[in-house]
Structure 1
Amino acid sequence: MHNSTVRYLILPGWQGSGPDHWQSHWQQLLPNAARVEQHNWFEPEPGAWISQLNQSIADTRGPVVLIAHSLGCITLAHWASQASSEQWAKVAGALLVAPADVERPGCPPALQGFAPISSTLLPFPSLLIGSSNDPAASPDRAQQLAAQWGSDYLQLEGAGHLNPKAGFTQWETGFAYLYQLQRQIERRHRQHA
């Protein structure tokens, strides 16, 4: 993003994003980037995760762009459904990558407490990136979540869960989607100016 006052908040999913994850790489490269640190990455508790996200947004000065992966996307959706308009106003937009469908058959028990997934429309621009073969969310389900949240939707072919296991470590090409979100945010600002 061109505006140096924008802050980026990285929202990892279940088990966190290790040093080989693209989110960790982006955190090092993006100016003014920080990570939402959860107290327990392996036994996630929805209330605690939402509260930690809320606190991280409250502690961040200036407009915030959220960059969420997997369970981080679901946490963001739950937060948005509970947040006040003052809290929403701090968020410029959100990049939602490979959301984890916690309602799917065979979902790991540790994630099932995040069901049902919030279907509240996100009150800020968002872009959801799915994959044609993501084991955590089918293409149809990812597209459905994007529609519920009011997110623009892009599907990548054969990208798996967009994590290191699927070959996404630095994911430099992903910055193109972040810039696409930035253009969306700028268009919205011009419309409301």
Structure 2
Amino acid sequence: MTGKPYSAATDRNRLPIAAVLREWLADRRRLLEIGSGTGQHAVHIAALLPQLDWQCSDRAAYLPGIRQWLDEAALPNTPPPLELDVMDVWPSERYDAIFSANTLHIMAWPEIERWFAQLPTVTTMDACMAIYGPFNINGDFTSESNAAFDRDLKRRGAHMGIRDAGAVDALAAAAGFGLVEDVAMPSNNRMRLWRRSG
């Protein structure tokens, strides 16, 4: 199959992301990926975790491309992608894991607030969550490259920008999720891991 959407950044970071998620998701059964983009993470990581049903989701415009990746991989644990705009209707199913990569700095802050507020309605009481991407710490950039990236984001859209880890943790805590680990990743990114406390 040709003409699939392709993200070079996803291709570069899929191995370190998978290394963390293989351990973090080893006992999980149903995962919702928020903002699946091209679908590349889904086909790579779901192949490594055959016990895990990996549910892709994104806005409608991205679904055809995601379907191309899923159809080509033909994995038994990747159902058809769901349409999900975080400001609209959420799935009625419950998941014991949530994953998202490189989404928080693209979304507007009210969208992020809505996402986290919806977590209790779509997760089981023992759910875990993993979010990959750049984060600020105590309001400061962790590298000059991240500061430059933030400036570029704001040129693209005033609603974009690298989010502060503490502000995101506060939203997670309000939804019942406590931070378990913050893993340093390549290119000044982080993998932040939370677990729902019940």
With normalisation by structure 2, the TM-score equals 0.44
With normalisation by structure 1, the TM-score equals 0.45
Larger Rg: 2
Q: Structure 1 or 2: larger strand share?
A: 2
